[in-house]
């Protein structure tokens, strides 16, 4: 009966390295969302995925950032050549479907806190 799981919970990278953030949605959920929360700011939408498809990536920077949700395994948010401005908390959420308001409620994971040195 696990909720959304994210790992690692904390990630430290040096400038120029790659960061890989993983998200396992609630069992049975096929919709995954990634949000970023900068210090003293609200949650900002980044990308919305279904299995093997990117539905909406309009909130994700076009360079260095990519996301996937393969048929098997967790969703991955990948940040290449990280810079200090990428330091933030990254949250993953999942929902069952978009059919009704009840089934598309998004449930959030505990987040991954990325620190870029």
Binding residues (CB under 8 A) for another protein: these are 4, 31, 33, 35, 41-45, 48, 55-56, 58-59, 91, 93, 95, 98, 101-102, 104-111
Please report how close the Cβ of residue 116 comes to another protein at its closest, in angstroms: 19
Q: Tell me whether residue 35 or residue 82 sits nearer to another protein (CB atom).
A: 35
How many CA atoms does the CB half-sphere of 53 hold within 13 Å?
A: 6
CA distance 19 to 8: 10
Please report how close the Cβ of residue 81 comes to another protein at its closest, in angstroms: 26
Please report how close the Cβ of residue 105 comes to another protein at its closest, in angstroms: 6
Beta strand 112-116 with 10-13 is parallel
Q: Tell me whether residue 9 or residue 15 sits nearer to another protein (CB atom).
A: 9
Q: Tell me whether residue 2 or residue 102 sits nearer to another protein (CB atom).
A: 102
Residues with Cβ within 8 Å of 95's Cβ and at least 6 positions away in sequence, in order, are: 29, 31, 33, 103, 104, 105, 106, 107
Please report how close the Cβ of residue 16 comes to another protein at its closest, in angstroms: 27
CA distance 69 to 41: 27
Q: Tell me whether residue 86 or residue 109 sits nearer to another protein (CB atom).
A: 109
Residue 24 Cα to chain centre, angstroms: 10
């Amino acid at each position: 009966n696990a909720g959304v799981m994210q790992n690692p919970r904390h990630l430290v990278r040096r400038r120029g390295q790659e960061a890989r953030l993983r998200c396992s949605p609630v069992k049975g959920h096929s919709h995954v969302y990634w949000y970023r929360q900068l210090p003293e700011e609200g949650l900002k939408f980044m990308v919305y995925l279904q299995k093997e498809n990117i539905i909406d990536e309009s909130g994700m920077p076009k360079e260095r950032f990519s996301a996937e949700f393969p048929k098997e395994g967790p969703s991955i948010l990948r940040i290449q050549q990280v810079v200090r401005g990428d330091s933030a908390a990254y949250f993953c959420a999942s929902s069952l479907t978009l059919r009704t308001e009840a089934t598309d409620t998004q449930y959030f994971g505990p987040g991954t806190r990325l620190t870029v040195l």
